[in-house]
Amino acid sequence: MTSALLVAAVLAQAQVPTFESRVESVHVDVLVKRGDAIVSGLTAEDFDVRDQGISQRVSLVARDTIGVHALLALDVSGSVRGQRLEDLKAAVRAFLSKLEDRDRVTLLAFNHGARLVAGPAASAAQVEAALTSLEAGGGTALHDALVAGLILADAGAGRPALLAFSDGDNRLSWTSPEALVETARASEAVIYTIGAGSLGASGRTLLEDLADQTGGAVREARDGASLRAAFGQILSELRGRYLLRYEPTGVETPGWHKLEVKLKGRSGDARARRGYLRR
């Protein structure tokens, strides 16, 4: 199955439209850390946001007005069979138990193909019930699964974050690394990946690039305890992120817009997506 047919199949199950960038206003999801600590208590005035080098006037979207839309892409290839699959299910259940009523979840399972297991934008309880159906077998098509997850990343259901778990390098995807990166650049989703095996140098480099482009991160998990800790750490970061909003001023050109996000008069490292596509 080609990547186009794979995505079409997932969307047919989902019955949602494909992603289109909304440029009337731009939303920038930002994580601020000082060392390993998440920095809280910042205001819109603490951020310097530049669109194509031009400073923008931003506002801060209140955290209690919008939930998280967590898109879980879980590797269920043959190498996950047995205890590793049980550890994965336990880590996801712990993650789901900490979500709030306004949060929504989309669950994808993938091996040599991707399957929509729950959602899109289901409740945590619905996703937890669907976890029991997961069985392991087959190869690994990580790139195709990530593209499917990004297309399902509906910002209308909450702040989209794609959390992908895999214990092996990509081997069976039709989607090229370049196409995957371009899809990520056009999405509002933050990408977090959790590796629990041998991703290989090229695979890890690609995942780090995706994280850098979208303001996410790459985590590693050696066993059930560290896997559960990785999901918990990601949720803490999602809760601690700031959502900035602005209407682009002085930048009318269609195409790729480079974004720069820094702090003003504060210490800390601000992580956000590198840009957005203006139609």
Q: Indicate the number of domains in the chain.
A: 2
Q: Are both 126 and 168 inside the same structural domain?
A: yes
Q: Are both 98 and 227 inside the same structural domain?
A: yes
Q: Spell out the residues 6+ positions from residue 147 whose beta carbon is closer than 8 angstroms to its own.
A: 3, 6, 7, 175, 179, 180, 183
DSSP string for residues in the chain: --HHHHHHHHHHHHT-PPP----SSEEEEEEEEETTEEP----GGGEEEEETTEEE--EEE-GGG--EEEEEEEE-SGGGTTHHHHHHHHHHHHHHHT--TT-EEEEEEESSSEEEEEEEEE-HHHHHHHGGG----S---HHHHHHHHHHT--GGGSEEEEEEEEEE---S-SS-HHHHHHHHHTS--EEEEEEEEE--HHHHHHHHHHHHHHT-EEEE-SSHHHHHHHHHHHHHHHHH-EEEEE---S----EEEEEEEEESS--SEEE--SEEEE-
Q: Are both 15 and 125 inside the same structural domain?
A: yes
Q: What is the pLDDT of residues 120-164, one digit of tens each?
A: 999 999 999 999 999 999 999 999 999 999 999 998 999 999 999
Q: Are both 268 and 193 inside the same structural domain?
A: no
Q: What is the pLDDT of residues 250-276, one digit of tens each?
A: 998 889 999 999 999 999 999 999 999
Q: Are both 115 and 253 inside the same structural domain?
A: no
Q: Are both 108 and 215 inside the same structural domain?
A: yes
pLDDT of residue 73: 98
Q: Is the pLDDT of residue 21 over 50?
A: no
Q: Is the pLDDT of residue 23 over 90?
A: no
The rounded distance, in Å, linking the Cα atoms of 8 and 236 is: 33
Q: Is the pLDDT of residue 8 over 80?
A: no
Contact (Cβ atoms closer than 8 angstroms) between residue 113 and residue 152: no
Q: Are both 172 and 261 inside the same structural domain?
A: no
pLDDT of residue 20: 41
Q: Which domain holds residue 9?
A: 3-19+66-240
Q: Are both 174 and 112 inside the same structural domain?
A: yes
Q: Are both 137 and 231 inside the same structural domain?
A: yes
Mean pLDDT of 223-230: 96
Q: Are both 234 and 148 inside the same structural domain?
A: yes
Q: What is the pLDDT of residues 52-72, one digit of tens each?
A: 999 999 999 998 899 999 999
Q: What is the mean pLDDT of the chain?
A: 91
Cross-strand bridge partners of residue 72: 107, 163
pLDDT of residue 83: 95
Q: Are both 119 and 224 inside the same structural domain?
A: yes
pTM over 0.75: yes
Contact (Cβ atoms closer than 8 angstroms) between residue 167 and residue 35: no
Mean pLDDT of 170-195: 94
Q: Are both 229 and 195 inside the same structural domain?
A: yes
